[in-house]
Amino acid sequence: MSAVAGKNASKTTSAVKAHRAPESQQSSGGAAVVLVSALSAAFGTVLIMIVADLAAYFDASGLSEIGQLATVLGTIAALFFTIALFVGAVVTSNSVATVIAGRTKEIALLRLIGASGRSLRARTVREGLVQGASGAAAGASLGVGLTALGAQLAITNGALDPFPFPIVHPAVLAPVLAVTAATVIASWVGSRRVLTVSPIAATSAVAEPTMQELRAGRGRSVTAVILIALGVAMLVGGVFLGLSSPTGVLVSVVGGMFSFVGVVIGSPVILPPLMSLSGRALGRGPVTRLAAANPVRNPARSSRAVIGLVIGITLVTMFAVATETFRAITLEFGQMEPEMYAAFEQVIDVTTAIMSVLLGFSVLLAAVGMVNTLSLSVMQRKRELGLLRALGFTVGQVRRMIVTEAVAMIVSSALFGLLLGVFYGWVGAQATFGSLVGRLVVPSIPWVTVAGVLIVTLLITVAASLLPARRATRVSPVAALAVD
């Protein structure tokens, strides 16, 4: 009896190994989680150490009054770190979800031989804990080193007078713990699909939900519509309240949060049609038609690849538009002497530059997630790409289809993020400063920033799609069709 059981266990193990997702998929997803965790922790550590260095510099210089500035800077640093942490959590959750989607048959086989969904999900969360903790520790170490090096260089070059700057501050532990916790939560959220995989899925072809299935799922759609409608109503209310009082911005902030969360929840339904429209605008050949149809055919996978980028671009554009609109309001309706206005212009320019750099880090995190998700998606489509090769598509056509699909996905998402950012930025400026003019003003759009975002996004798109496209087309059609 034990011999038979041993043989059955051996056969089952062999079956699981045969259906196991390629190690490259799992390692790629894990590497992305570690990298995002390291970048987030490094960013938070640098912000904390800069504030600590400034506080030490103010104390050493006897500038006790300016020391209060360190508290203000600490609050601002916490705000931007929270934004980066949120983007990093979204990227991590999507990376985990993409890896889980590629391992559906393996998970189903494990369920078939007795493993529970909860135990498999717990294993995924443990992996996220290890990856998040290791990445956060490495990132914090890097951040401490970079900050100490920067402070020493500033003293050596004469930019700052010598002062006893701290090498490490106890508050550095905060970003390490926060990033690790965010990674664990993101792994928990991203692995929820594990609980929905049935053992019978091991014997059938498993696909992600289609657009029709997503639209039929009332929970997601209803939640997204309610949040967006409530948020837009509060945004409009904040704008009109802002015509008489700056407190309108408080209503607008809450409305912006509600509406944007609704957009994120509804992204699998909102974004794919926009991607398809962009794809159709790129041409009418068979390659372009397939590229335009793929985002709608796999809406969940497509939206996962770009939602982080939408968030990052929206934030950058929002702050840029709000700042430019404030500048325009002050220029047109403010009463300033030329010398005072010149100083005001300099402050606005410096503030815009600092905010762009800090928020640009969120775009970097989103770009890392986008590159990883695109690579995983291409690797999971080897069978589909092999079928196209078997039907007569050349290697060049397959690669062009992948690049065209990526361009359509990213450009449409970037434009969507820009539109959201312009709207949110104008609402914020109008609700805050509308009482100065007593009427609605036209938003001021920083076209240089917009053009820069689009160009960088396009370059990232091409770089993100070429490598996985070349890797996928190296496999022969016969070998690709053999992929389960």
pLDDT for the residue numbered 385 = 79
57 vs 480, residue with greater confidence:
57
CB neighbours of 41 closer than 8 A, spacing ≥ 6? 135, 136, 137, 138, 139, 140, 143, 175, 176, 179
pLDDT for the residue numbered 90 = 80
pLDDT for the residue numbered 480 = 62
| Boundaries of every domain in the chain | 28-202, 267-483
pLDDT for the residue numbered 212 = 57
What's the pLDDT band for 18 if we cut at 50, 70, 90? very low
pLDDT for the residue numbered 258 = 92
- Residue 356 scores a pLDDT above 60: yes
pLDDT for the residue numbered 416 = 92
pLDDT for the residue numbered 130 = 92
Overall average pLDDT of the 23-40 stretch: 72
- Residue 320 scores a pLDDT above 80: yes
Q: Which of 372, 427, 297, 264 is nearest to 27 (CA)?
A: 372
Asked whether the CA dihedral 381, 35, 108, 15 is positive or negative, the reply is: positive
pLDDT for the residue numbered 350 = 65
pLDDT for the residue numbered 458 = 76
pLDDT for the residue numbered 24 = 52
Tokens of 480: 């690709």
Question: pTM of the prediction?
Answer: 0.76
Tens of pLDDT, residues 154-181: 888 876 778 777 888 888 888 899 889 9
For residue 443, what is the DSSP state? P
From 32-36, 109-113, 205-209, 457-461, the region with the lowest mean pLDDT:
205-209
Overall average pLDDT of the 322-328 stretch: 82
Three-state SS string across 181-204, please? HHHHHHHHHHCHHHHHCCHHHHHC
Q: Which residue has the tokens 């005072």?
A: 340
pLDDT for the residue numbered 133 = 92
Mean pLDDT of the chain: 77
- Please name the amino acid found at residue 432: T
Overall average pLDDT of the 385-403 stretch: 82
What is each CA distance from 96 to 27, 122, 180, 194, in whole angstroms?
11, 13, 15, 11
What's the pLDDT band for 1 if we cut at 50, 70, 90? very low
Tens of pLDDT, residues 219-232: 778 888 999 999 99
pLDDT for the residue numbered 237 = 92
pLDDT for the residue numbered 207 = 54
CB atoms near residue 339 (< 10 Å): 8
Tens of pLDDT, residues 397-431: 888 888 888 888 888 888 899 999 999 999 988 88
- Residue 449 scores a pLDDT above 70: yes
- Residue 8 scores a pLDDT above 50: no
- Residue 86 scores a pLDDT above 90: no
CA trace torsion 8, 10, 16, 18 (10° rounding): -120
- Residue 324 scores a pLDDT above 80: yes
pLDDT for the residue numbered 2 = 40
From 15-29, 55-69, 321-335, 408-422, the region with the lowest mean pLDDT:
15-29
pLDDT for the residue numbered 315 = 85
Overall average pLDDT of the 363-372 stretch: 76
What's the pLDDT band for 259 if we cut at 50, 70, 90? very high
